[in-house]
Structure 1
Amino acid sequence: MGAERVGTRPSAPHTGRLGDPYRGTSRGTGGVRAPVASEEDIMALQTAASLENLAAGTYRAFARLPFVANGNRTLAEFVTRTARHHEEHAKAFNEAVTRAGGREQSGTDPKYAAVVREALPTLRTPGDMVGLAISLEDVAAQTYTKNIGQVSSEPLRRLFGSVAPVEAQHRATLLVVRALLSAGDERLIARPADAGKLPAAVGSAGLPDAFQSTADASPVSEGAIR
């Protein structure tokens, strides 16, 4: 499925640059001196890592669900690949926070961890799973987009700016998947897609908004280490 490829293809954020926002500075491979990180920078990175830890763990839990493990192969591949993306993002944020002088965040975002704990036992269908995944990807994309204007240095703005679009891609893919599930035929979730059988809603499902909202972004302190 073309839309599914968009959401799962490793892109620029999955290069070596992702894990080293201070590359080219004195904290990286040489060059100009890196700016000192603020307390807000460290909290923002820890919160981002907590969101990514939660997302990675949630997608791993998705992969174990019978209707994923024994269901549509394309959807199962998306779940597995997206879990790896979130693991890479968590590693990148934690590498950045330790370079900035903070403590690595191995925990999960407390607000959304509670949501996931409550929701996981209730998932009965692929549609249920996709709804929860959309929520996690949306809050991550909104949070990192807002963080771009909150952190104090260009390397960190570049890091958040490289991850936010990937989360938005994940969400877009999931919105298309939800539209296909609503059509009542899981076989439509396939790669390559049978374009002649796709419902018209797929054409706009993945991009419902002209701009990325930040209204529901998590505060920088939400997943910070106390």
Structure 2
Amino acid sequence: MLSRRRVLLGSAVGLLGAGALAACSDAPPTAAPATTPNPPAPTTTTTARVPYVGDQRAVALCAATSALAASLYSGAVLAAGDGRLGQVPGVITAFLAGAGAQHTEHAAAWNALLTAAGRPAVTGTPLTVESDRRAALGRAAAPTDLLTLAVDVEAMVGGTVTARAAEFTDPGAAALAATLAPVAAMHGATASFLLGRPTGATPSAAGAPLGLDALTT
């Protein structure tokens, strides 16, 4: 079986080409050097810098959402190992670690689309929901709480990617979304199974998809 990393990075780099993301760049053109001996003083205006526009902003949102998922899973693995949640079954820890590693690769694949288009990669987890999701992890008191968090995280990631997929004009971004959304669904179904719930159980409100306004950069 091909590694997940090869599949994801192949989608990010191979499908992008010179797609619509590059066309969305908002970088201003470089001004030609002045040739007059006494050029007039330039007029300066201050405007808010918007690093991502069009498809780029949706891609950046997906990158940040995957990065937050990876970070939450990393924290969940640490919580499972520090003893405060009691005895955490190995299958749960393995699931959390594996899902987190895949979300790290997903974030890298989204960022590859941005950097290939000449835009900066998303760093950190710049989302309005970050503090709430981390607080939910901090409230975990049993192994089942970690799995419940995972159900919501995967619903949030999968729903966000699916919603953005319908809006992409760049074929590389659309193809990557189609590749990654089923992985989030698989993770969510696995977490539900480990909880003993139906795999199609409805997540809590914390699992709602994120809109573009959730991105803070």
3-state secondary structure, aligned to 2:105: helix
Deviation larger for 64-73 or 52-61: 64-73
1:119-147: CA deviation from partner (whole Å, max 9, x where unpaired): 22211101111111211110110111111
Kindly state the Cα deviation for residue 117 of structure 1 after the two structures are TM-superposed.
2.5
On the 8 A contact 2:65/2:157 being kept in 1, the answer is yes
Q: 1:207 aligns with which of 200, 204, 208?
A: 200
Q: Show the 5 A alignment for 1:49-198.
A: 49-65=63-79, 66=83, 70-179=87-196
In the alignment, what sits opposite 1:40?
54
- Shift in alpha-carbon separation, 1:206–1:106, aligned structure 2, 3 A: same
Question: In the alignment, residue 96 of structure 2 is paired with which amino acid?
Answer: V
User: Which stretches of structure 1, 4 residues or more, deviate above 4 A after TM superposition?
Assistant: 67-70
How many Å separate the matches in 1 of 2:69 and 2:126? 10
In the alignment, what sits opposite 1:186?
none
How many Å separate the matches in 2 of 1:37 and 1:21? 17
In the alignment, what sits opposite 2:210?
218
3-state secondary structure, aligned to 2:74: helix
Question: In the alignment, residue 151 of structure 1 is paired with which amino acid?
Answer: F
Deviation larger for 108-117 or 163-172: 108-117
In the alignment, what sits opposite 1:21?
12
Structure 1: 5+ residue stretches without partners:
1-9, 28-32, 180-201, 210-214
1:89-144: CA deviation from partner (whole Å, max 9, x where unpaired): 01101111111232111121423211123222211101111111211110110111
How many Å separate the matches in 2 of 1:69 and 1:11? 36
On the 8 A contact 2:127/2:216 being kept in 1, the answer is no
Deviation larger for 14-23 or 155-164: 14-23
Question: In the alignment, residue 200 of structure 2 is paired with which amino acid?
Answer: L
Question: In the alignment, residue 21 of structure 1 is paired with which amino acid?
Answer: A
Question: In the alignment, residue 218 of structure 1 is paired with which amino acid?
Answer: L
Kindly state the Cα deviation for residue 224 of structure 1 after the two structures are TM-superposed.
5.4
Q: CA-atom RMSD, angstroms?
A: 2.5
On the 8 A contact 1:21/1:155 being kept in 2, the answer is yes
Question: In the alignment, residue 114 of structure 1 is paired with which amino acid?
Answer: S
Larger Rg: 2
How many Å separate the matches in 2 of 1:224 and 1:17? 29
- Shift in alpha-carbon separation, 1:56–1:24, aligned structure 2, 3 A: closer
How many Å separate the matches in 1 of 2:5 and 2:12? 11
On the 8 A contact 2:15/2:175 being kept in 1, the answer is no
3-state secondary structure, aligned to 1:110: coil
Quote the sequence identity (%): 22
How many Å separate the matches in 1 of 2:160 and 2:187? 15
Deviation larger for 60-69 or 79-88: 60-69
In the alignment, what sits opposite 1:197?
none
